[in-house]
Amino acid sequence: MAGYRKLGKTSSQRKALLRSQVTSLIYKGKIVTTQARAKEVQKIVEGLIALAVKEKDNYETVKISAKVPVKDKDGKRVKEVVDGKKVTKFETVEKEIKKDLPSRLHARHQMVKVLYPVTEVPATKAGRKKGTKEVDLVAKLFDEYGPKYASRNGGYTRIIKVGQRKGDGAMEVVLEFV
């Protein structure tokens, strides 16, 4: 008996499909897919959330000082003339950052192996390229889903049957977080 469903795809196609569905489930909170795919995605997501719950508080807070360019009201860098050259003006800022301990760092690497990078694009036409930003799904897992499901022992997702798809009659389901 096989340990997983092949979903009628080659191994590389299957891995890409599952990775993309896991990524969109974590990003959006729920997806609509076939029952067989949902059961496979559910296995992967449950493991990722279990990792996030286990390692959610496994970091230390560190104070660092960083040089940041000074910006004017329009968000442009302030320049000053030094020895006849225009040079960007910098200021030193104190920041507190989370430094992962080794086991949390390993968990982070395991999550990055599965998740695709997600880029948010603004809806307005003006400045679409400028306003894009990368969404950190691993941080979302640690900061949002980890504390949310800390009291649960598994069962972080549920499958709700929607009905049969019109084209091929496959059972469609909604896979969502509890």
Average pLDDT score over residue span 105-125 = 92
Beta bridge partners of 65: 94
**Cα–Cα distance, 96 to 36 (Å, whole number):** 44
Q: Residues with Cβ < 8 Å from 9, sequence gap 6 or more? A: 17
**Cα–Cα distance, 50 to 46 (Å, whole number):** 6
Q: What is the pTM of this model?
A: 0.85
**Cα–Cα distance, 31 to 29 (Å, whole number):** 7
Task: Give the model confidence (pLDDT) of 134-164 as tens digits.
Answer: 999 999 999 999 999 999 999 999 999 999 9
Secondary structure in 3-state letters for 100-168 = ECHHHHHHHHHHHHHCCCEEECCCCCCCCCCCCEEECHHHHHHHHHHHHCCCCCCCCEEEEEEEECCCC
Whole-number pLDDT of residue 37: 97
Q: 11-57+103-177 in CATH: which number?
A: 3.90.1030.10
Q: Which residue in 35, 171, 54, 69 sits closest to 104, CA to CA?
A: 54
Task: Give the model confidence (pLDDT) of 99-110 as tens digits.
Answer: 999 999 999 999
- Which pLDDT band, with edges at 50, 70 and 90, does 127 fall under? low
- Which pLDDT band, with edges at 50, 70 and 90, does 75 fall under? confident
Structure tokens at 129: 């390229």
Q: Which residue in 115, 106, 114 sits closest to 136, CA to CA?
A: 115
Structure tokens at 172: 């469609």
Task: Give the start-to-end residue ranges of the domains of the chain.
Answer: 11-57+103-177, 59-100
Q: Find the range with the poorest average confidence among 39-48, 64-73, 105-114.
A: 64-73
